[in-house]
Structure 1
Amino acid sequence: MFRDFSVQSLFMGLLIAFVGFASSFAVVLHGLTGVGASDAQAASGLMALSISMGVCAIVISAVTRLPVSIAWSTPGAALLASAGAVEGGFSAAVGAFLVCGLLVVIAGLWKPLGRMVSSIPPALANAMLAGVLLSLCFAPAKAIAFNPLLGLPIVLAWALVGSVNRLYAVPAALLAFVVVIALGVEMPAGALGGLSAALVPKAEFVAPAFNAAATVSIALPLFIVTMASQNIPGIAVLKVNDYHPAPGPLFATTGFFSMLSAPFGGHAVNLAAITAAMCAGADSHPDRARRYWSAINAGIAYIAFGLLAGAVTTFVGLAPPVLIEAVAGLALIGAFSSSAMAAFTEAETREAAAITFLVTASGVSLANVSGAFWGLVAGGLMLALARLAKRRA
């Protein structure tokens, strides 16, 4: 195995980890705090997710000798941000994370559940995701309105660098965010000391609590979004690059690592889609049989980034929240546009997708259940009625 290692795969692995972490850690922090996590718990969750997906990538890629890239569920984190706090606080959210991980394991091992998830109309799943992402994608405009001197450089960096290379657009926005905070935000006394102290990683154990509201509001939508927007596309990317792993064991392994990270604040890890293309492509290595080292190297780098999560979270906490939301929103614009396009492509499902999107984006909460669930229900009922009417016609 070590004879397959190459410098090219090392650099690709480092790039994958940097892009994966830098492009969406802001979304993860925003999502965890959105469901009631304290700053320390959010830092612990970020650390747990980074380490879990790093170890998961190393294990899967070393065992299968396939370039299987692992990521945290960015759409899932966006879902958390829109869901808001639930009855029972962050402990109930952690219980929902565990339930979601268990459902992913079952979906991988028990084929009927996996088929059930696959049978959810893609238009409705994409419409739900687009509705979840919409409010976060408003954040860049809100940041500019909040303070043009702070918000505009972040958006301009994203736009200018993205016009040259989309891969580096979000890292450029993140770099601009760091510069803006360092130069434009007055640091409170002792801030540097806090950053130094945060270099020592701290895992915050959160005893899970279970209730029906958190299960329906968080666990089920998180499971659907993670499977439909991450795991299934991740398998598709591998197949496009002529790798054909058995999906079930991969799903079950990511669900297992999700359950390991949940008590420390992590919401979900899953197969990656964007970085999967980087791992499995020719830039990873000319020899297809040696590309799995890119995923292993990325896993090692993710673990290193995870150990720095406390310092990252402490630094982010020095900024006005709207600025980190702006970075998160910029990171999700691509996901929003692609999911919205996929939701409204087919004329037959367009109206049902519109209902799913609108109910989800409204943010309504009925019976302590978030709008993402009700959006999927409303769209599903509309689609069922339309198909029933078509049969009778």
Structure 2
Amino acid sequence: MRLQPVLAGVVTALVGFSSAFAVVLTGLRAAGADERQAASGLLVLCLASGLVALGLGLRDRIPISIAWSTPGAALLISTGPPAGGFAAAIGAFLLCGVLVVVAGLVPAVGRLIALIPVPIASAMLAGVLVELCLAPVRALAEVPLLAAPVIAVWALISRFARTWAVPAALVVAAVTIGLTGPGLGGVTLAPALVWTTPTFDLATVVGIGIPLFLVTMASQNVPGAAVLAQYGYAAPMRPILATTGLATIVSAPFGGHAVNLAAISAALAAGPDAHPDPRRRWLASVTAGVALAVLGLGAGLAAALLVLSPPVLIEAVAGLALLGALAGALSSAVSEPDRREAAAITFVVTAAGVGFLGIGAAFWGLLAGTGVSLLHRRRTPAEPVTSPR
């Protein structure tokens, strides 16, 4: 019983890391990072997330799980390399961190974000995710002998233990890469933090920084707080946002795109499987933070896996990991009949991946959908005033 929260924390870290590190590495490479910069980004995200989870868990004695923004990494993939290269992307990461801190310290900012209709925000997220979620199909067509076992194992394991389906698929992918790839000769496995001096490009800040902030808030911080509430914990959002925003700012020059509340894996540390006594479950999130920081030491090996494999194969694993998020986003996008058309426009514009004025499609999708939603908004008829008799 004493070891139960510790074991739950280790499982939380293993599942969170193995299910999403491929998305992070692919996103950073898509944003212009080289192999060393991408590995540095993964390492610093693990270290920063682990330290924040450790600090908040010890401070508040509730299971606050911290992770990186997986939908944010998918956004980087859909946006592609900015005109200013990876240095400009770093500037956008810094802006995201600043906005998260401001959202924690200034309540008006949080209320402003809440004005964005949920179907519109969900449709933007779905548009960001859909391209990556198509990767398993593309992989099956391009490298069928490598992709078929990965997809088959994922489908089989998800039938019996959904939590472990993506990690199992990743193991199969690693084995096939090891058997068919060129080997690790000449590949640097030791992780290292690599500094990249940020630059600030207006188009990149608007096209990546602002959508990254919105996606992180809507897809990580808000659901993460909801998971804690589901298990009876009131998340202290002001210190959480301030701390994760500062962690993002510190991590950004080393390649970290966003640190935030965990959403999917949060239930592993906050639920009864972590410990029957809710007052003891904070040990699981603290253990998960320490374990995630340790797992970051494998960032070099993880980056090597990405380099040695056919790109579409790792993208396929990442796509499998995000299918659940895509399904949830699509369901939320069409949940309100009056906003379905606006949500569809948001999705189409975002999924098209076409930028204008150097600004990525996610921003234009959000702008188009919000504009149509406001244009078609129906006013509630005023009730007739009756004079007293």
Q: Which category of TM-score, normalised to the shorter sequence, fits these structures?
A: over 0.9
Counterparts of residues 274-293 of structure 1 (less than 5 Å): 274-293=264-283
The match for 1:8 among 4, 25, 44 is 4
1:295 equivalent in alignment to 2:285: yes
Supply the AA of the counterpart residue of 1:320.
P
Supply the AA of the counterpart residue of 1:167.
T
The match for 2:160 among 133, 149, 164 is 164
Counterparts of residues 305-320 of structure 1 (less than 5 Å): 305-320=295-310
1:186 equivalent in alignment to 2:181: yes
Where 1:24 maps in the other structure, the secondary structure is helix
Where 1:349 maps in the other structure, the secondary structure is helix
1:24 equivalent in alignment to 2:20: yes
The match for 2:205 among 194, 215, 231 is 215
- CA contact 2:129–2:326 (8 Å) conserved in 1: yes
Shift of 1:251: 1.1
Distance verdict in 2 for CA 1:212–1:390, change over 3 Å: farther
Shift of 1:316: 2.4
1:72 equivalent in alignment to 2:68: yes
Deviation per CA, 1:45-90: give whole Å up to 9, x if none.
0001011101110011110101000110000000000011112110
The match for 2:354 among 356, 359, 364 is 364
- CA contact 1:118–1:228 (8 Å) conserved in 2: no
Q: Partner residue of 1:261? A: 251
Q: Partner residue of 1:57? A: 53
- CA contact 2:181–2:309 (8 Å) conserved in 1: no
Q: How far apart, CA to CA, are the structure 1 residues paired with 2:28 and 2:295?
A: 18
Q: Partner residue of 2:131? A: 135
Shift of 1:315: 2.5
Counterparts of residues 333-348 of structure 1 (less than 5 Å): 333-348=323-338
Where 2:265 maps in the other structure, the secondary structure is helix
1:34 equivalent in alignment to 2:34: no
1:43 equivalent in alignment to 2:33: no
Supply the AA of the counterpart residue of 1:211.
D
Q: How far apart, CA to CA, are the structure 1 residues paired with 2:141 and 2:94?
A: 39
Q: How far apart, CA to CA, are the structure 2 residues paired with 1:301 and 1:267?
A: 20
Deviation per CA, 1:277-305: give whole Å up to 9, x if none.
11111110111111001001001111111
Shift of 1:391: 6.8
Q: Partner residue of 1:328? A: 318
Identity over aligned pairs, percent: 50
Supply the AA of the counterpart residue of 1:342.
S
1:99 equivalent in alignment to 2:95: yes
Q: How far apart, CA to CA, are the structure 1 residues paired with 2:305 and 2:133?
A: 23
Q: How far apart, CA to CA, are the structure 2 residues paired with 1:154 and 1:391?
A: 55
Deviation per CA, 1:20-53: give whole Å up to 9, x if none.
0000100001110111000110000000101110
Counterparts of residues 224-235 of structure 1 (less than 5 Å): 224-235=214-225
Q: How far apart, CA to CA, are the structure 2 residues paired with 1:308 and 1:295?
A: 20
Q: How far apart, CA to CA, are the structure 2 residues paired with 1:287 and 1:360?
A: 44
Where 2:67 maps in the other structure, the secondary structure is strand
Q: How far apart, CA to CA, are the structure 2 residues paired with 1:83 and 1:390?
A: 38
Where 2:338 maps in the other structure, the secondary structure is coil
* TM-score, with structure 1 as normaliser: 0.95
Deviation per CA, 1:226-284: give whole Å up to 9, x if none.
00111011111111111113212111111111111101001001001111111111110
Counterparts of residues 138-149 of structure 1 (less than 5 Å): 138-149=134-145
* TM-score, with structure 2 as normaliser: 0.96
Structure 2 unaligned blocks of 5 or more:
383-389
Q: How far apart, CA to CA, are the structure 2 residues paired with 1:218 and 1:271?
A: 20
The match for 2:104 among 101, 108, 122 is 108
Where 1:71 maps in the other structure, the secondary structure is strand
Deviation per CA, 1:353-388: give whole Å up to 9, x if none.
000000000001000111100000000010001015
Aligned residues: 382
Distance verdict in 2 for CA 1:347–1:29, change over 3 Å: same
Shift of 1:222: 0.2
Alignment RMSD (CA, Å): 1.4
Supply the AA of the counterpart residue of 1:285.
H
